[in-house]
Chains A and B, each alone.
Chain A
């Protein structure tokens, strides 16, 4: 099951790798903040991809500690990232790619019944 999910995920990542890797992952890998954790925090707060995207664009264009979805403790030891240099279109495309890669709907599998 893990392979079935994971292989297409790698393929998807690979196909968008150029832009997404250079524009996003490059820094995120260095800062050691997992992209999946960010997705989960946005999901927990905004529920739908539409609202998550709106919030991400808003943050990346004008990042503040108030808008950040990182845990307060983590934020205290870190400086806030700089404004994105990407155009609105590029920014939206990268976020779309990101949401597509980590889409929760694609990752859900039925668990074993508890009762």
Chain B
């Protein structure tokens, strides 16, 4: 799966999950409030029934009242009676002396309260307040149901989002596939003509030529080498799984000079001033062809995106390679996309925009670190640490 495809898929999954879960949360919230309201209503109905029974007991206490009056008590609930001035007459719990509530039913903490009006006023009661523990069983059951529903819906949403995402990404994947197949096929077809040109250039290189012919010949050689570089990059990107990698310690300095020699015509044609500061006997464990691809791309970019009579500096120490040029530079905004494949910030120069992508792949393959810094129209530095 391509990086862009993976990114798009993750974004789709993220948006799908967040939006769907929000919808689920809203729906569940409505359901929860509705169910809680039902539970409260059931509690209210129960307390209403209790209060009716209790009024009968008050009636009995009133009728049997002598020097002392036995106040009815109950294990299911506690009670308080108030007169018509809302003053407390008697309570089995710490009830307020003056009744201020106008609500008929309310919940406070784990207790529910129910108030009913009483007439005739047995024992002087106008308001009867009943206090009871809330029956937590249905609430616990509801909360458990909601948690299970959340977990189940979350899993289903993840699965659905992945399947839908794959479906959604198919056109993009097909487009990538077409492009990849095209590059693969083109790479195969380019092999023979490029090597024919390069072999023939080598054959007639030492043949005496007039100055004009030599200039044209040099241009052909530069163009052929550029084409060869692109070809090799494409081979690396598309056929790397078929390549035999032989990682061993190589002499970095020697390889750098070889590659500079390869690019000398390009450097000369742009009248660039190349400065090298390469430490002796620098060794690094890397496949020689991979190092060549990495270095070629960095140097090729330093040449391509440089001005006429510009400068290129190559510094190599025991653990680092730095290639710097004072060409057009890359803006801060574009720097983060510099490693993306097919990304080109200056389309006036040739190439597919795969060079830094190849460098990035090789750097990742060997666990190196790469950093790019640039100032527009001043300098671009690429540093690789191993």
A interface, CB within 8 angstroms of B: 1-2, 5-6, 9, 36, 40, 43-51, 104-105, 107-115
Contacts and interface: CB of A to CB of B under 8 A. Distances in A.
29 contacts: A2-B68, A6-B67, A44-B120, A44-B122, A45-B120, A47-B83, A47-B124, A47-B125, A47-B126, A48-B84, A104-B89, A105-B89, A107-B68, A107-B69, A108-B68, A108-B71, A108-B89, A109-B68, A109-B69, A109-B71, A110-B70, A110-B73, A111-B61, A112-B70, A113-B73, A113-B74, A114-B57, A114-B74, A115-B76
B122 A111 contact: no
Nearest to B126: A47
Contacts of A44: 62, 120-122
Contacts of B125: 47
Given A5-B67, A50-B85, A104 B73 contact: no
B55 interface: no
A40 B65 contact: yes
A48 B89 CA distance: 9
B44 interface: no
B90 interface: yes
A36 to B, nearest CB: 8
Interface of B: 57, 61-62, 65-76, 83-85, 87, 89-90, 92, 120-126
Nearest to A48: B83
Given A2-B67, A47-B124, A108 B90 contact: yes
A56 to B, nearest CB: 15
B76 A104 contact: no
Contact of A107 (B65, B83, B85, B87): B65
Given A40-B62, A47-B124, A114-B57, A107 B67 contact: yes
A48 B72 contact: no
Contacts of B121: 43-47
Contacts of B75: 113, 115
A114 B72 contact: yes
A6 to B, nearest CB: 5
Nearest to A109: B68
Nearest to B123: A104
**Chain A to chain B: the 3 pairs with minimum beta-carbon distance, closest first:** A111-B70, A47-B121, A47-B84
Contacts of A109: 68-71
A110 B92 contact: yes
A21 B57 CA distance: 34
Contacts of B74: 113-115
Contacts of A104: 65, 69, 89, 123-124
A2 B67 CA distance: 7
A46 B68 contact: no
B72 A111 contact: yes
A49 B85 CA distance: 9
B39 to A, nearest CB: 23
B71 A110 contact: yes
Contacts of B72: 111, 114
